[in-house]
Amino acid sequence: MGALEGFAIKVTRPYREEDLPAMVEIWNEVVEAGNAFPQTDPLTLEEARAFFAEQSHTAVATVNGRIRGLYILHPNNVGRCGHVSNASFAVTGESRGEGLGRLLVEDCLRQAAACGFRGLQFNAVVASNERAMALYEKLGFARIGMIPGGFRNKDDVYEDMYIYFHEVS
C-alpha cells in the first residue's frame, strides 16, 4: 500500500483565493530553506496574490482537504521560445516522501499540454536535490546540461545545477 492510499488527494485543482495563505507558507518554507528555489526573499500575501495569478497555471495538492503542495507553470522564455514551459514545485516538509511531488509533476505535464506548450524545462535543479532528480528521471525527463557552481545556497556554498527537459504532448 502506497504512503498516500486512503487519503483524498486532488492534484488538478487550480488554486483559489482562500488557498493563498497556505500556499505562501509552503512557498516560503522552500525559499527560506535556501537549497532549491533561486528566490531569496519570502513572499508576502499581496505579492503572492499577484505572483500566482500571473502564471499560466497554478495548482494545489490537497490531502484530506489540507493544502500540502503546489506548482506554478509558465513560459520558460518569451517570443520564439514561449512554446517551452517552466515550472516550480513546493511540498510541505512534513509531506515530502509521500508521493505528492510525483503527482504534482504528472499533473503539471498534463496542464502544460493543455496550455499548448511543447516542452517542460527545469533550469536550475540543484545537485544536492537528489530526490527531485531521481523523480524527474523516473518520469522521463532528460538531464541536458550542468552549470558548474550555478546555484548559491543559503550557506553561500556554490553547488552545481542541472537542466532537465521533457517533451509535452
What's the pLDDT at 7? 53
pLDDT tens for 64-119 read 889 999 999 999 999 999 999 999 999 998 888 888 999 999 999 999 999 999 99
What's the pLDDT at 63? 87
What's the pLDDT at 5? 56
The DSSP secondary structure of 2-61, one letter per residue, reads: -TTTTS-EE-SPBP-GGGHHHHHHHHHHHHHHTSS-S--SPPPHHHHHHHHHTSSEEEEE
Q: With cut-offs at 50, 70 and 90, classify the pLDDT of residue 9.
A: low
Domain ranges of the chain: 9-121
| Cell digits of residue 103 | 503527482
- CATH superfamily, domain 9-121, is Gcn5-related N-acetyltransferase (GNAT) (3.40.630.30)
Residue bearing the bigger pLDDT, 130 or 1: 130
